[in-house]
Amino acid sequence: MANVKNKEKSPSIIGANLPRNDVYEKVTGTAVYTDDIQFGNKLLYARVKRSPYPHALVKKVDISKAKALPGVKAVITGADFPNKIGLYLKDKTILATDRVRFIGEGVAAVAAISNEIAMKALDLIDVEYEELEPVFDPVYGASKEAPLLHPNMAEYSYPNFIFPKPGTNIANHFKIRKGNLEEAWSKCKYIVERQFKIPHIQHVPIETHVAVAMMDEKGKITLWASSQSPFAQRALIAESLGISPTDLRVIAPFVGGGFGCKAGVTMEALPVALATKCKGWPVKFVLTREEEFYTNFVRQGLTSFLKVGCDEKGRIIALKNTMYWDGGGSTEYGVNVTRAGGYSSSGPYDIENVETDSICVYTNHPIGGAYRGFGMSELHTGLDQAIDELAAKAGIDKVEFLKMNVVKGGDKLDTGMIMHETGVKQTIENAAKAIDWNSPKTPSSPNKLRGRGIASMWKAPAMPPNAGSSAWVELAEDGHITVGLGGQEIGQGTFTVMAQMAAAALGVPYENVRIAGPVDTQYSPYEWQTVASRLTWSMGNAVRNAALDARKQILDVVAQAWHENAEDLDIVNGVVVSYKTENETSLKNIAIYGIPKENDQGWVGGPIIGRGNFMPTYVTGLDPETGQGTRSVVHYTTGTEALDIEIDKETGQITVLKAAASFDVGHAINPVLVQSQIEGGFIQGLSSAMFEEIKLKKGVTTNPSFVDYRIATAPDVNFKIETPYVEVPQDDGPWGARGVGEHPMVPTIAALGNAIYDAIGVRLPGPPYSAEKIYLAMLDAGLVK
Amino acid sequence: MGFQRITLTVNDLVETVDVPTNMTLLQMLREKLSLTGTKNGCTAGECGACTVLMNGEPVNSCMVLAAECEGANITTVEGLAKGGQLSKVQQAIIKTGGVQCGFCTPGMLISATALLARNANPSESEIREALVGNLCRCTGYVRIVDAVKEAARM
């Protein structure tokens, strides 16, 4: 009976700070990333011929000289692969066909026996272009005067929740019309109108994109890729090649940072396309750091026009939010970023009258795609700074103003959806308390100005309404379990969290759970994509269901063998116990071969494999003209960040004194992993707020290196970040959990902008809030001479 | 392009390797010696993912030619654990939770090891300065710095 008693004593696996199950490999250098796989002497190297023009017709591509170069095994052009590819709006091809739409777009590609020969071959490719007038501004791009980037838009396919406008550059126009805005303005005592401009930024994973593809003699293809989306890549690349998805096997080793840029399909289709022209030869394509900056997904720029008003008591009652997204040359993924920006455009605030136009515009800039937060950082940067000013105008403390206006369970949201319970108010209190919001703001010297800022946020998983997850759980002969799953370990710790969930649901120690990795579409169960902060919730449900299914099978077998009822049995620490008869047996005694019947009269049981899946079935469509519907999203994760800063009057330099980030995570399955996500996300947000911008000049990315595109380094983080999280359970989350991967970088720019405003009384139109911009603003305002 | 035969010590093993004269130390480690723990993040000496110890000093191995390594003593992440026992910095970073995607981790561990070898009891700002050349996009450096402090205490 030792185990039955231990059940009471043993600490819960859920909510425990268990060590990551990938950490030993990662600290010893044995964790395998895509570029670490050895392919032997037949490995070919891919390079891409890229457009030097932002917008041009491709008149002629001559590859004859490149093909003749010794060592070159394949040369392809857009004409070889004319089928469209794209996650939502299918507006892209693997290589440009008739037209290039941004500097760096591929027009041809080479596979050769060395990188040097591949580069040499690129120089031998002659491309004839006819330059066209480019579009570099989304507001202009949306106008009737702008030249069209996609004249054939009407022929593109897209799901029914995307609204492109053929004959314009508008790839999606999402609208919200809630209440009566005109009437509401007349009831407003205070109104703030502001324009913000948020620049393009880059994800900057330390591992650049890498993919290796090989086609065998029978025409089956294997793709090894640093990928957040092996299953989506299988589907989309197969579709564009006109082959069956299961004829393309995607193997996805550990990922050296994703943040959205390794979701969907970007460069991964290219080595596959080359591999089809040289069967039996593996083709490797690694992006250089320079290519990483602008040839793949960027976080698109945003120009937003905000008007927000409150009544005399400080209740926000009116919001007009017009957003022009700088979508880039293709918006196949970006259209859904702008949709998310649209349906969440009120932020976590209960506003009765809302009018939103979220407009995704084609421009001759790099392609916008998923970036941690999926539109929410961009949205909140303006919204929460406008609301900050509104609070100041109304003469109400910002913390009180937010608390008065945030949504609560039962509120009717901007889309008409009824809000679930949320701890957003608690996150405001936590963040304010952590930085001593009400303590005196004394600068440390007369040369400094001190300020505090706070901003709240919300974000829903942005995905198709029915994105699904699946999992299996298998019992091995040692009584340990193996979990099959299709979501990817990109650093967030999902393999650890899934092992905790499987262990807890089945009843085995955490150490006895192995994750069947790497994810391999040939063996692993289906998962939509590792995006949207959805795995803990969605894949967690699938894993939990699979473990419960295995558990039920085990208990049924044991109950049959012991002539007991399954309800009287339990699995504790890997041992099946009976509370009725006090029988017990280790799982290893029943795995694989089952249990012998008495007197050698045969067996019961057999190999145990549990299966589970999860798919939300309740999300509804929204009206294209009003954005109204029953259920726009699965749920919202909410949170708040606050900063206490000083600004040096002589340099404009910001010093962060203290920071706080509080999020409602539903239930922290592994608190250290939750806090690590929040700390890392906050610093990524702060880095974007202080330093980061892809400097585009006439379509040219002028700063594609770590020297010219600065990200936060260790000395920049010389202050304390507090992360007091909140746990209001998610009704359909495993153990009440919901995701928090992206959220920590969402409100950071706004929180910092508000702190700067508090310190110097100037509202800057957009990040990065560099020392130079702040100094010049102080000069303009007469604060310094 | 010529070749050169060099003899050097890598993780306590003497290796003799024929290297093209334009091959970097990073390429040699990964491609000739199958030591893929050292990562390439930029090929320009800017991100620190490829940091190894060369005669006890941290260097960006993408900026060192293999041919310059004749007689050198190189330590990579694979050489930190001895006899199956993780080094203090490795143990500490597991304890503090300073690993996420793991791609910067090998370079971070090497830079931290070099710091502690020259300064057994560094201040927090000395730790941060020692890691300035190692970029991390996941952790915000919080628990990596904690790990170096922890290792110094061990």
CB B49 within 8 A of CB B26: no
Q: What is the DSSP letter of A99?
A: E
Note the pLDDT of residue B72: 98
| Burial class of residue A471 in the structure, from the number of CB atoms within 10 Å of its CB (0-12 exposed, 13-18 middle, 19+ buried) | buried
A259 contact B CB<8A: yes
Number of other residues whose CB lies within 10 A of the CB of residue A15: 17
pLDDT digit string (tens) for B75-127? 999 999 999 999 999 999 999 999 999 999 999 999 999 999 999 999 999 99
CB contacts under 8 A, A 692-731 vs B, are: 705-707, 711-715, 717-718, 721
Query: In chain B, what is the greatest distance between 2 CA atoms, to the nearest angstrom?
Result: 49
Work out the average pLDDT over A297-307: 98
Nearest CA among A310, A308, A386 for reference residue A354? A308
Q: What is the mean pLDDT of chain A?
A: 97
Chain A neighbors of B127, CB-CB under 8 A:
714
CB A189 within 8 A of CB A311: yes
Q: Which residue of B has its CA nearest to A293?
A: B42
Instruction: Tell me the CA distances in angstroms from A198 to A60, A243, A747, B15, B120, one per residue in order.
Output: 37, 40, 13, 52, 44
Note the pLDDT of residue A148: 98
Q: Which of A24, A26, A723 to mutate to test the interface with B (most CBs of B within 10 A)?
A: A26
Instruction: Tell me the CA distances in angstroms from A591 to A4, A288, A576, A602, one per residue in order.
Output: 21, 49, 12, 16
Instruction: List beta partners, residue A578.
Output: A569
Mark yes or no for CB contact A256/B39 under 8 Å: yes
Mark yes or no for CB contact A27/B86 under 8 Å: yes
Q: What phi, psi does B98 have (nearest 5°)?
A: -90, 10
Q: Range with the lowest mean pLDDT among A1-15, A22-36, A314-328, A602-616?
A: A1-15
Query: In chain A, what is the greatest distance between 2 CA atoms, to the nearest angstrom?
Result: 98
Nearest CA among A666, A541, A672 for reference residue A614? A541
Q: What phi, psi does A411 have (nearest 5°)?
A: -70, 150
- Preceding omega of A253 cis (within 30 degrees of 0): no
CB B105 within 8 A of CB B130: no
Could you give the count of Cα atoms lying within 13 Å of A755 in the half-sphere of its Cβ? 35
pLDDT band for A642, please (50, 70, 90 cuts). Answer: very high
Work out the average pLDDT over A288-300: 97
Non-local CB neighbours of B128 within 8 Å, separated by 6+ positions: A714, A715, A717, A718, B141, B145
pLDDT digit string (tens) for A659-673? 999 999 999 999 999
Task: Check whether A6 has a pLDDT greater than 70.
Answer: no
CB A549 within 8 A of CB A612: yes
- Tokens in use for A266? 């970007």
Work out the average pLDDT over B17-46: 98
Secondary structure (3-state) at A681 = helix
A283-286 vs A210-215, strand pairing mode: antiparallel
What is the C-alpha separation between A7 and A574, in angstroms, rounded? 11
Q: Has A217 been annotated as catalytic?
A: no
Positive or negative, the CA dihedral A99, A102, A106, A107 is: positive
What is the C-alpha separation between A178 and A150, in angstroms, rounded? 32
- Tokens in use for A83? 């089928």
Q: Which residue of B has its CA nearest to A686?
A: B140
Q: What is the 3-state secondary structure (H, E, C) of chain B?
A: CCEEEEEEEECCEEEEEEEECCCEHHHHHHHHCCCCCCCCCCCCCCCCCCEEEECCEEEEHHHCEHHHHCCCEEECHHHCCECCECCHHHHHHHHHCCCCCCCCHHHHHHHHHHHHHHCCCCCHHHHHHHCCCCCCCCCCCHHHHHHHHHHHHC
What is the C-alpha separation between B2 and B19, in angstroms, rounded? 9
Residue type at position B39: K
Q: What phi, psi does B48 have (nearest 5°)?
A: 80, 0
What is the C-alpha separation between A173 and A178, in angstroms, rounded? 16
Note the pLDDT of residue A785: 85
Give the angle A763-A764-A768 at the CA atoms, nearest 5°: 145
Better pLDDT: A146 or A8: A146
Secondary structure (3-state) at A306 = strand
Across the interface, of A33, A707, A717, the residue whose CB is closest to B142 is: A717
Task: Check whether A8 has a pLDDT greater than 90.
Answer: no
Work out the average pLDDT over A585-597: 95
Q: Which residue of B has its CA nearest to A721?
A: B142
Note the pLDDT of residue A219: 96
- Tokens in use for A326? 């700088």
Q: What phi, psi does A259 have (nearest 5°)?
A: 60, 20
pLDDT digit string (tens) for A176-214? 999 999 999 999 999 999 999 999 999 999 999 999 999
CB A277 within 8 A of CB A298: no
Which helix (H) or strand (E) segment holds residue A386: the answer is helix A376-394
CA distance A255 to chain B (A): 6
pLDDT band for A118, please (50, 70, 90 cuts). Answer: very high
- Tokens in use for A318? 């009116």
Note the pLDDT of residue A229: 98
CB A44 within 8 A of CB A284: yes
pLDDT band for A9, please (50, 70, 90 cuts). Answer: very low
What is the C-alpha separation between A441 and A235, in angstroms, rounded? 56
B73-75 vs B3-10, strand pairing mode: parallel
ipTM topping 0.90: yes
Q: What is the pTM of this model?
A: 0.97
Instruction: Tell me the CA distances in angstroms from A208 to A34, A504, A512, A559, A679, one per residue in order.
Output: 11, 36, 34, 53, 23
pLDDT digit string (tens) for A409-466? 999 999 999 999 999 999 999 999 999 999 999 999 999 999 999 999 999 999 999 9
CB A219 within 8 A of CB A246: no
Torsion of CA B32, B35, B37, B43, to 10 degrees: -20
Note the pLDDT of residue A11: 62
What is the C-alpha separation between A629 and A632, in angstroms, rounded? 6
pLDDT digit string (tens) for A451-463? 999 999 999 999 9
Task: Check whether A7 has a pLDDT greater than 80.
Answer: no
- Preceding omega of A768 cis (within 30 degrees of 0): yes
CA distance B37 to chain A (A): 4
| Burial class of residue A365 in the structure, from the number of CB atoms within 10 Å of its CB (0-12 exposed, 13-18 middle, 19+ buried) | buried
Q: Which residue has the tokens 């706070």?
A: A454
pLDDT digit string (tens) for A543-585? 999 999 999 999 999 999 999 999 999 999 999 999 999 999 9
Task: Check whether A711 has a pLDDT greater than 50.
Answer: yes
Note the pLDDT of residue B125: 98
Give the angle A176-A402-A396 at the CA atoms, nearest 5°: 120
Catalytic residue (choose from A292, A527, A692, A742)? A742
Secondary structure (3-state) at A481 = strand
Q: Which of B38, B62, B99, B111 to mutate to test the interface with A (most CBs of A within 10 A)?
A: B99
Non-local CB neighbours of A23 within 8 Å, separated by 6+ positions: B94, B99, B102
Instruction: Tell me the CA distances in angstroms from A215 to A39, A223, A233, B89, one per residue in order.
Output: 14, 9, 16, 43
- Tokens in use for A695? 């400097």
Non-local CB neighbours of A313 within 8 Å, separated by 6+ positions: none
DSSP assignment of A185-205: HHH-SEEEEEEEEE--B----
Secondary structure (3-state) at A551 = helix
Residue type at position B72: A
> What is the Cα A371 distance to its own chain's centre?
5
CB A256 within 8 A of CB A205: yes
Nearest CA among A291, A329, A302, A295 for reference residue A134? A329
- Tokens in use for A767? 């990040």
Instruction: List beta partners, residue A703.
Output: none
Chain A neighbors of B39, CB-CB under 8 A:
33, 206-207, 256
Note the pLDDT of residue A2: 43
Across the interface, of B81, B94, B104, the residue whose CB is closest to A23 is: B94
Chain B neighbors of A228, CB-CB under 8 A:
none
Note the pLDDT of residue A561: 97
Secondary structure (3-state) at A371 = coil
Task: Check whether A3 has a pLDDT greater than 60.
Answer: no
